[in-house]
Amino acid sequence: MSILGPFQAGKTTSYKSIAQNRQSIYLDLELPNNRAKSTNPSLFLNSYWDHMIILDGIQIQQRLFPILRPVFDQDS
């Protein structure tokens, strides 16, 4: 699922509300320590296959887009 909108439109609040009662991982990819977790995205995503994974600010890590679909599709 993707939530798109202008800066400070409430996207992060929406993510957090949706994830509130689920096992979830939230990564703000504007933060350096969270960007470091994306150095091996397949490993990271596969480690949390049973969680909702929220990638906030993914537009700054566009190299992740070609990796996401195969990882998400492998168990479907």
20-55 per-position pLDDT tens digit? 989 999 989 889 988 888 788 888 888 888 999 888
Residue 2 lies in a domain: no
pLDDT tens sequence across 56-69: 888 888 888 888 88
Residue 5 lies in a domain: no
Residue 3 lies in a domain: no
Q: What per-residue string of b and e applies to 10-42 under the rule 16 or more CB within 10 Å gives b?
A: ebeeebeeebeeeeebebebeeeebeebbeebe
> Please, which residues bridge with residue 54 across strands?
26
The residue that leads in pLDDT, 19 or 71, is: 19
pTM score over 0.75 = yes
Confidence of residue 76 (pLDDT cuts 50, 70, 90): low
- Its domain, for residue 24, covers 11-73
d(CA 24, CA 19): 6
